[in-house]
Amino acid sequence: MSHGHSHGGGVCRCAAEQEEPPEQRGLAYALYLRIDLERCRCLNEEPRGQRPRRLQAVGGADRPLQGNVKLKGIIIMGEDDDSHPSEMRLYKNIPQMSFDDTDREPDQTFSLNRDLTGELEYATKISRFSNVYHLSIHISKNFGADTTKVFYIGLRGEWTELRRHEVTICNYEASANPADHRVHQVTPQTHFIS
């Protein structure tokens, strides 16, 4: 695979060369199991009976995560018409986000291409998404339809369990009390080598 540089005839060990085949790529999207579905919200949603959630109109999804995530990539699948999303904005660690909050600068914005099969992955800026416990996705545009249809959102990354740090009690001295610190007198000695 050509990825913009050469290795002078050597074997390439770049990450771009070691991409997983599409049939194994689904294993990397196991973050679905780490989404707290009880607290997941979808704004501006039009329910469709017993079908899975579907975003209708310009909408957003609020995804609380069970732990911390280093988010590396995202895929989004839609319809093969003008209802497919054309722009996606990501916001990290803003619980209870509403449409009023979309006026703030997103952590990352993506211009999307139509993807019916989930083969296009949008790489996130890992430096910005290295400690995510809450992800809000704002689908801000589509290709011109009145409603936006999203069939699947896949998140790829590394999950780590939340660790609760107990309080550590420390004593600090503002100024040292010499009586608390024993000092042994050291006599300097000089040795000559002849």
Q: What is the pTM of this model?
A: 0.63
> Does position 154 have pLDDT exceeding 70, yes or no?
yes
Tens-digit pLDDT profile for residues 59-113: 445 555 667 888 999 999 999 999 999 999 999 988 888 888 889 999 999 999 9
Residues with Cβ within 8 Å of residue 132, at least 6 apart in sequence: 65, 68, 69, 70, 71, 92, 93, 157
Please tell me the distance from the alpha carbon of residue 28 to that of residue 1, in angstroms, as a whole number. 20
